[in-house]
Structure formats: structure tokens, C-alpha cells
Structure 1
Amino acid sequence: MKIKKYEDNLIIQKRNEIYFLPFLEILYVERFGNSTIIHTEEEEITIRFSLHGLIDLLPSCFMRSHKSYIVNIRRVKQMKVLRGDSTTYEAFFNHEKSALITKENVSLLVK
């Protein structure tokens, strides 16, 4: 598998498929076990690539928001404190999708 940045797109080449993902269509990226899942409004693309490596390919509107998440800040609609955990927020996007953001990263956004 190969992943590279080309203009305003992330190009993901898997064995039999090539994805051209405009950066603005990516809501967030989630690490789950040994897999990384790229979430858009319409699909989820599973790859084997580290968040650390992926964040270097993404533009500045993406933030490593949590140990398991990268969030496209431009696509966040709302954030709420996670129930029972005052150190973590849940960021909401369209279509009931959500990702986690640490309190420290929320502080960077709302200075």
C-alpha cells in the first residue's frame, strides 16, 4: 500500500484499488487495533498506516486530537465534554459521527 499527498488530495493505493480523497471530505481518522480508518461522510476506508505517518501528509486543518484520532477541525460541528470524563471532549460531525479530543487540544482551539 502507498499513500501520498497530491495537491488537495490524499491518494491511497491498495492492492486492487486507488482512492482519491479530497482533504476537505475527510472528517476524521481513527486508529483501531492494527488498522487506521479514514472516515468521510459517505465511506470508511481501512488502511494499515500509522497516525504519526499520516498526520505528516495532511494539511494544517487536521489535528492529532487524541492518541487514537486525527480530526479535520474545519468539519467539526460541535464539541461536548464526554460524560464522566472531564479531560476528554467528543467532537461531532454530520451524520452522527464523532471523535475524541483531549481537553488540552480543545484549549488550543478556543484560546
Structure 2
Amino acid sequence: MIQTIETEVKKVVMQYQELLKDWLPTHSSIAIAQNDTYIYFSSTNENFQLSVGTPVLKESIAYRVLQKNSKIDAMIDSTLFQQPYYGVGYPITLSNKPAALIIILPPSFQFPQVEPLSFLTGKNEEGWFPIALEDIMYIESLQKKTWFYCKSEQLTTTITLKELQLRLPSYFIRIHRSYIVNILFIKNISRDMSSSFQLILKDGTTLPISQSYISEVREILSF
């Protein structure tokens, strides 16, 4: 029985790889989930540590596909893959039972084009203030709120970091699950006491670069 399922899974993967090859980026990962576990996973990304038998978490695309029986695409921040990822999930059938085929796209994947922002409207005790993006030093997710900082001001916005990542211009980069930084305000890059990378901004603010983002940050900033 197990061998029959494995054979069917391999056939399904080969069929979908053939169908998706025209748009599927190089180094994409593929997973299949059925019931409440993953039954197939293939990846060249060492940060995507998933194995057959791993439970399907409620935060995952696989869970949403299995629950709604519909295509789901999303940027996932909280993930068992040790780093945020953009994925697309499709409902399929295996052995006459519902399953989910998940395509996990590589970090270099260009997100779908959406209307870019030119300013953020922030709120403090005095009211609401539209702030030009070029005046914003960095943006932070803290205590379930999104904050952004410009000079000595600290304002909050209703837009999440996940949404902002899709709509900010290229001079903003994600360096951490909690931080997006304006490259124009970076003074230098150094290592901390544990040899992890960190950014020093022109106003003296120090921000950590997480391991999940270091490769992409080094590529963008060329160091």
C-alpha cells in the first residue's frame, strides 16, 4: 500500500513539474500534504528543512489549501522552513483523497507587481501624518503593530511588514523578520560579539541581520 502511494506521488510530481516548467523558477521546492502531514518534499534550499511525516501547521499554505480546497498563494512570515517564503498551493487528489501540492519559490523570486507606495501615513498622539518614503529610516514590527521611524519621530501604521515588502521601492530591504531598512540611511555593516552581521544607521541605531536574510542582503548590498 505504501509503495503504491509513493509511486502515485512520484507520478503526480512529474506531471505537475512538466506542466509548471514554463514558469517555475530554478531552485523552487515542492511539497505534497495529505490529511495532516507532508507525504513528499523535494528542495535544493538547505534552509527548507522539511521531511515526510512532518505535521501540517495551521500557519502554512498547505493547511489553507486542505481546508478550503482551493488555490492559495501567499507570503508566509511564520514558518517551519526557518525563513519566510512565498508559496503557491493547489488542491489535488491522491488515492481518491484530497491533498495539497505546494510550490515554494526561491528567495530571489520577484513578487507579483502591485501598485508601489510613495508615502506612509503614520499615527501618533497628535494625529495622522503622511510621510514620504525617502524620509523613513526603517520599519519595525513590534507587539503586533507596525512602526516606522523618521529622524526623531516614531509613528505607527496599519500596514503589515508582509504587505509593505510587496509595495516598497527597491531601496528598502528586509533584513529580519521584524525589520525593513531604507538603504539610504545605512552608515555601515559590521559584526557583533557573536559574529552575526548588523547594520548601523546614520543616527546610530543598530539593527540585526538575521540568518534567514543574510544571503539576500549580501547580494543586494554587494559585500
In the superposition, the TM-score normalised over structure 1's length comes to 0.76
Secondary structure of 1:105's aligned partner: helix
Secondary structure of 1:60's aligned partner: coil
121, 125, 128: which is aligned to 1:18? 128
Matched letter for residue 51 of structure 1: L
Residue equivalent to 1:57: 167
Report how far residue 18 of structure 1 moved. 2.6
Q: Detail structure 1 runs of 4+ shifted over 6 Å in the superposition.
A: none
Report how far residue 107 of structure 1 moved. 1.8
- Contact 2:120–2:157 (8 Å) recurs in 1: no
In the superposition, the TM-score normalised over structure 2's length comes to 0.41
Matched letter for residue 29 of structure 1: I
Matched letter for residue 208 of structure 2: L
Residue equivalent to 1:42: 152
- Contact 1:61–1:74 (8 Å) recurs in 2: yes
Deviations 1:49-76 (A, max 9, x none): 3210122231110011111110111210
- Identical positions, percent: 25
Deviations 1:35-92 (A, max 9, x none): 12101112111234321012223111001111111011121011111221x3x32211
Higher relative contact order (CA 8 A, sep 6+): 1
Structure of greater Rg: 2
- 1:97 paired with 2:209, answer no
Which structure has more strand as a fraction of its residues? 1
Give the count of matched residue pairs.
103
Report how far residue 12 of structure 1 moved. 4.1
- Contact 1:12–1:18 (8 Å) recurs in 2: yes
Matched letter for residue 110 of structure 1: S
Stretches of structure 1 that go unaligned for 5 or more consecutive residues are none
